[in-house]
Every structure is written in structure tokens, then in C-alpha cells.
Structure 1
């Protein structure tokens, strides 16, 4: 199959399968894997050679780690040294020992068993980070801990590549190695010379990134040609990957180091914007290649063995990660995100299995089985994440609610705030500053732990539960302020409060106009749209910047706010009639324009020449 046809098949598979998988709630990663399995040699046979495509697609992982590095300033990375070395180091060591022991118990030689342990100890950086980013968990404790483990694993790939040939089962005169090592120009040198050159290469990346690259980017930016900046960004990442390859190191690690060095660079956001589309496309290609590379004939031949090994791998990693999560103090909700994100085999496993086979460390028949095990474990990861999200997390939420009820005494404060995120915190701080006694509930255990560090007293709980509202003092309270992130939970909390505590005034946060009407129908006493006041304030400032006097901008904003509020109330009766709703909205928009024309009867509508300071009635835009 020619290159153009191959590209068409890959892109078509991704474009069709991924949106369907996302719509079904399976996530993009599983969509790519399914697409690959369908077009691969074991199904529709549209693609037969996947190995070369996968090697190219692995560059998506390199780009991803470069972008991750851009988000981490060196001082932040230094603060993470304990979880990287502690959590990451223990995960690799303990998992390697556990899997090595299991393999030896099955009768394998210790060299083969250790190689298998080292390879299966690794997790998929591509899948884990992609899922955590999709779930917006990268800045949570689960995300930070997962990243620390993945970073240590990527660093560990380097000594693993060096160690595997030493575990060879028989003497060999010429050892083939993986792409990272086979293209190395220093492999013939003695160990201390190799170490010096490697250190020199890493130092040069840091020096160039810190002191020279800024001037290059400034020169390119001054040209005003965006496509040249894109080319320069790609050149930077490809150049680093090539340099690391030449000295036998992981290109992904080199890209990550470069990203960290450039984290404080003024061009980092431009770099990120230019590289991100290529990263996403290549990662998708990588996942499709993994799916296409699954040997279903081998799975059909040995289904019990392979599925048993897949489940055993996930179980071993699950237990080890669960213990480490407890030791390192991960909260209940974060713990299972952390475990399921890392419970699979990793993409570097395919590379290391190839090296192990060529180095005569692992027999070829076992390599085939392990390749299928790693691929299937990667396929199962999005499913495990989905099960965690749908079934396990709600159970832990319930447990957290129950444990909170045991520790929280009955409250008697006049105000209850449900939700203490970016919206609820502003409301709460204002009330607390004015000596108001409040009871604060939040459904995020990690948010509670973080906010309590600043001296706020929060309790874990779901405000849509009747018994919890009673414990929080809803019978005696005057106000219930609902600032929950979840639209569904907000509606449930309003309905629950108005049904069982009719005396309680409910002040609620709405996401948009549609949500506003939902809350009004449920009986909320006052509803504040999430971004309305901030947007109005910014619009008022924009008018002033365009030359409108401050007092006039204030009046215009007030008129707009009043008319908008009146319009929302008027539209409420048409909320179920879409055509009428849109028609009335357009009428209201025209009315608003007429109001402002009446305010400025001499407003100009053409582009006539104006003086520096507009007179009354002139347009400012």
C-alpha cells in the first residue's frame, strides 16, 4: 500500500471511530485503539505493516513530554523530587521484583524473568497523561503522583536499555539493539567516556535552551512569518530527539529536559500552540498503530493464557500502586485515578521487547505473548477508567459522606455554602470577612484538604442529600448558597432544599441562561449567572478604553444589566418553545439597541471624521 493510501486509511479510521467512542463515553484513547484493531491485519486487513508507522508515531510521545516539560518550571520539578524518586522509584523496583518472582515461579530463567519484570513495570505515558488531561486531573494529587511515576519510568528506560543485553541467555558475537542504541555513535567507547559524552549532551541542551534559543526565537518572531516559527518549533524537538538518539538515550527524556529548560522562556506559549496539533495527531497515530499491532490470531490460539496474564499484570500493579498510594497519603478519590491510570503496560515495552528478542534475552514466542499482553492492557485502561468513574468513585463519595457525618457535629450557622471552588470561595470569604457564621460543604476531598491549609473549615458532603443538609443545620439556617461545579448536582440540591426546607432562601449559581431557567423552575430564590458580573465589568472597561466617560460607561452597563435581567424573566415562559424563544431573544436585542439610541439620539451610523474627543451622541466604536 502506498503512503498516500495508508495516510488516508489511518486518518479515516481515527475521524470515524474517535467521535463515536467519545460520544459513547469511552474516551478518545479507546477510540483510537479500536480504530487500529479494525483496520489492522487481524480484522479488515487495510493495514499490514504497522511497525514502521509505530516508530514514526512514537514521536507523538516525544512531543507530549516536551509540552509537559514546558508546563514545569525547574523549581517546580525540584519540589517534586521526593515523589519522583520516592513514589516513582519504589513503583519500578517493587513491581519489577514482584513480576520477576512470578515469572521465576512459572519456570523461567532468572535473566528472562528479570527482563520481563523490568519491561512490565513500565506504564503507558501516552495513555495515562492523555486520560488525565481529558479528565482535567493533571493538577490533582492523582495527576501529580502519576506524572512523578511516569517521569521516573521514562528516566529508568535508559539504564534498562543498557542492562537488557547483559542479561543475554547465551553468548552472542553481535548484539542488535533498539533504535535508540543501534544508532548511537558512542557505543564503541568505554563506560566512563560514554557517561561524559551523555552529560555533555544534556548540559548542551540546557545551555542552548537557557541562553541561545531565546535569541533565535526573537529573530524568527521579528520576521512575522508564523509558519517559520512552527517550523522552528518542530526543528527544535526533532533536533533534540536526534541528538539524544545519537548518544543512545531516550528522545522523550531529552524532549522533556528541553521543555523544562524553556518553561520560563517568553516564547513558551507560542511553542506550545505550534506543537500541540502535531502532538495530538501523532499520538492518535501511535494508538491506532498499537491497536493494529494486536495479534488476534495469537490471542485466539491462547486466549486463557493471554487474558490470564493481562489480568495478572493489572492485579499485581493494582496491589502495588494501592499500597504506595496509601503510604504516600493519597486521598480516597485520587487513589483510584492514580491506580487505574498506571495499571497497564507501556509503549516503551514494545521497544524493549524488540531489544530483548534481538539480544537473546527473551525467547521470540514469549515476546509475541507479552506484546499481546501489553497491548490488551493498554486497551483495557480506558475501560477501567470508565468503570472507576461510573461505579467506584461514587461509592467512595458515599463513604466520604458517611465518614463526614460521624465527625461533623450538628451545625447551627445561619448560612450554608455548598461548593467551595473558585465561585464559592469568593462568596464565602466575603461573608466570613463580615463576621458571618457559615457552614461550608464541598464534594471534592482534595479541594477540602487544600483549602483547609489556608485556615478555612470545610466538611465533605453532597448537598443534594437530605440527611446531610439536616446535619449541616438546614432546619435552623436562613440561607443556602449553592456554588457546586456540577450542573446536575446544583439542580438536585435546589430541589431538595425547596422541598424539605421551604423556609430556607436558596441562592444559586447558574452556568448559562438555560441553566438559569432550570433553577428558576425548581424554585431558587435568587440566581446569579456565573460569568455575568465579570463580563459586564470587562465590557464597561472596554467602553472606557474606547473613549466613553466613566460615568456614561457605568450607566450604559447598568441599563444593559437591567434590560438583560428583564429579558431573562420574559423569556422564561417560552423556554420550552425553541422557535418562540429565539424570536423573542431577537426582539429583545433590537429593543436594547433602541434603548441605547434613545440615550444618544444624535448617534452617528456612518464613518464620518471625528475629533479626538467624541461629542455627545457620537459613536465610540
Structure 2
């Protein structure tokens, strides 16, 4: 009963908040994130971040990125591969340098300071995807660059975290040289090779076979099976589950049933799972962290926002994209969301993030995630004014 009550509050709260945001002209996702803050431990304490809520939230972000893949253009992603790599590179380099340096100035050890830099190098575009869809900018040059850069960023940051973990746990029996390289890279390469072979030889015959099955919404059901299966596979090889979900969605975007799959999955996702995901981020806010680590939170939030914004802008401009496009790209890369939260938790588990700094980092991550939709709104409106002029 407690779960059902939480879901009722989340669904009603997010829909009312979205309506209010539309009325006052700000991205609806802001209201959904703030619903988590209001309903959660920070204020009313009506909804707690339980294991079941976390599970619903995980399904929500997987479905959100699967839909992003379905709505994307594979040819555009290939076309904008170089800008995507450059944006990801600067989006990792700047936070690593500035956040690590700032952390060390607060008397945090270099080991923990470097890991804090890694945390804020992560990008989670699930929030950005929602805002870009709202402004009809997902299937554009800047939308393609943001999605491509996020995938490159995720893989790079996961590899860096894996290196940290490997070196910390290394002993005489640990792999080194080629063994370590295989552990870090081999399985990821095999995943993408397997994905390519699946798309080339298996996907279309499999979908043709599924079409012959007489059952209600069989194609949509099978699309969900593929989404969850590739999410599991990508997590098994040490990457984020959203990468697998995004890529299988991207492959299905070429199929004739794509529009039907997208509509049906959207109904399921936006009715329940995606609202729970957005609310779950707000549930992690702890007001007590502001009292003890106010200055640290402010510095981390400002630097985390600026380094991704500037990094994305530089990456875009260096690959000859326009100023307005590059600004949208930079704004779209600011959100840290669930990816950074996962890395913080991993850091705490392996002793790289001290319990005292854990809450401060969580709050800074959530604040940057809240700022991201507003920055995207500003950048999109600036681009639209330029087009009208």
C-alpha cells in the first residue's frame, strides 16, 4: 500500500508540476525534479527513496534513452561523430582539471579530489533529451551531437572509473598489461561488435518472424524485450545500461513499425516510469548538507555547470558548428543526473569518496541537473531569435 500511495503522489505531483511549468514558460522537467524535492525527505517526507522506487526509476531512464534512440537519426549521428568526440573530450577534460583543483583547495586529498573530477566529468543527457524533445530539437545537428557526445562521455568516464577501481584493488594476482587492457576495453569492443552483427544479420529476420505471431501489441512487446536485453548486456560489460537501450532504439528507428513502437512505449513510459525517474533525483536532496558544506556545494555547482557549458561550446566551435548550436550543445551537456549519482555511490563503496563529502557532492550534482533545462531553454530561445532576425 505504501508503494501505491507513493506512485499516486508522484503521478499527480509531476503532472500538476508539468502543467504549471507550461503555464509559466519553463521546461516541464524542472517541475518534475522539484516534485521530488517537495515530496521527498528534504521537505514533506511523503515519498522515500526505497528499493522499489529506485527500480521504477531505473526502468524509467532506460525507457527514456530507448525512446531517444527511436527518435534519432543514425545517419546524422554518423555525420556528427567528430563534433561529438570533441565535445566529449573537452567536457571531460575541463571538469577533471577544475573540479579536482577546487576540491584539493578545500583540503581534500589528491586521490579523492581526482575522483571528484571524474564524477563531474560524467554527463547524463536523459534530462536534456526530455527538454530537447519538448523544444523539438532532438532530431537536429545539435541534438545529434549531444547524444553522440553523451555516449562517448559515458564510455570514457566508465573506463576512468574502472582504472581507479583496478589500481586500488590491484595485488599480485591482479591482471596487468594485456590482461588489464582486455578487462577494461575488450568486453566493450565485443559488445559493439556483437551489436553490429546483430543489426546486420539477425534483427530484421527476427522482427519479420515476430510480425507473424498473433498476439496483442507483439511488436511493441518485442521492442521492450530488446531494450531490456541490451540494457542488461551493456551493464554486464561495465557500461551504463542506458547505452545499450539507446543503441538498440537507434537500430529500431529504421524499422517500418518504428512509429507504432515509439507511440506505445511512450504511453507506458510517460504515464509511470519516467515521472518516477525524475522524482527520484529530487528525493536525494538533503538540506542538512547545505549547512555544513554550503561553500563547497556552491563552488562545485558553479564549476560543474561552467566547465561542461564551456567544454561543449569549445568542442562545437572547434568543429565549425555555429555559436548558437554550440551554446545549445554546451547547455545540453551540463546535466549530470543518474550517471554521476551512480559514480558517487561507487566511489563511496571503494573508499574514494569520504562520507562527509558524499552528501555535498550529491547536492551539487542535483543542482547542476536542475540548472541544465533552464540553460537549454535560454540557448534555444537565443538561437530562435537569431533565426527570426
TM-score where L is the length of structure 2? 0.86
Partner residue in 1 for 2:298: 307
Partner residue in 1 for 2:318: 327
Contact in 1 for aligned 2:226/2:248 (Cα 8 Å): no
Change (3 A) 1:48 1:75: closer
The separation in 2 between residues aligned to 1:285 and 1:27, in whole angstroms, is 17
- Distance between the aligned counterparts of 1:196 and 1:339, measured in 2? 31
Distance 1:75 1:259, change over 3 A: same
Aligned to 1:438: none
Structure 2 Cα separation of the partners of residues 319 and 120 of structure 1: 14
User: Over residues 353-407 of structure 1, what are the superposed CA-to-partner deviations in whole Å (9 max), with x where a residue is unaligned?
Assistant: 00000001111211111000011111222333445566xx28x95xxxxxxxxxx
Q: Which residue of 2 aligns with 1:8?
A: 8
Which of 337, 346, 350 pairs up with 1:355?
346
Is residue 94–residue 308 contact of structure 2 (8 Å, CA) maintained in 1?
no
Shift of the 167–283 alpha-carbon distance from structure 1 to 2, 3 Å rule, reads: farther
Q: In 1, are the aligned partners of 2:308 and 2:331 still within 8 Å (CA)?
A: no
1:67 maps to which residue? 67
Cα distance in 1 for residues equivalent to 2:264 and 2:230: 17
Whole-angstrom distance in 2 between the partners of 1:345 and 1:321: 14
Distance 1:336 1:84 in 2: 14
* Residues 70-109 of structure 1 mapped to structure 2, 5 A cutoff: 70-72=70-72, 74-109=74-109
Contact 2:119/2:344 (8 A) holds in 1: yes
Matching residue of 1:400: none
What residue is the counterpart of 1:138 in the other structure?
138
| Structure-1 separation of matches of 2:80 and 2:378 | 30
The structure carrying a bigger strand percent of its residues is 1
Give the corresponding residue for 1:375. Answer: 366
Among residues 278, 291, 294, which one is paired with 1:287 in the alignment? 278
Contact 2:76 2:144 in 1 (8 A): no
Aligned to 2:247: 257
* CA displacement 1:266-317 (0-9 Å, x = unmatched): 3333332332233434232111111121112222444343234312322333
Q: 1:393-443: per-residue Cα shift (whole Å, max 9, x none)? A: 28x95xxxxxxxxxxxxxxxxxxxxxxxxxxxxxxxxxxxxxxxxxxxxx5
Bigger shift: residues 270-279 or 33-42: 270-279
Distance 1:272 1:246, change over 3 A: same
What runs of 5+ residues in structure 2 fail to find an aligned partner?
172-177
Written as runs of structure 1 = structure 2, the 5 A alignment for 1:449-468 is: 462=389
CA distance in 2, matches of 1:132, 1:150: 14
Say which is worse superposed, 300-309 or 143-152, in terms of deviation: 300-309
Q: Which residue of 2 aligns with 1:339?
A: 330
1:121 Cα offset (Å): 1.5
TM-score by length of 1: 0.56
Higher relative contact order (CA 8 A, sep 6+): 2
Tell me by how many angstroms 1:42 deviates: 1.7
Partner of 2:212: helix, strand, or coil?
Answer: helix
Unaligned runs of 5+ in 1: 173-188, 398-442, 445-460, 463-621
Evaluate the alpha carbon distance shift between residue 231 and residue 355 of structure 1 in structure 2; reply closer, same or farther with a 3 A threshold: same
The 1:21/1:74 distance shift into structure 2, 3 A limit, reads closer
Paired residues of 1:140 and 1:334 also in contact (CA < 8 A): no
Map 1:532-571 → 2, pairs under 5 A: none
Q: Which residue of 1 aligns with 2:150?
A: 150
User: Is the partner of 1:226 in helix, strand or coil?
Assistant: coil
- Following TM superposition, by how much is the alpha carbon of 1:115 offset from its aligned partner in structure 2, in angstroms? 1.1
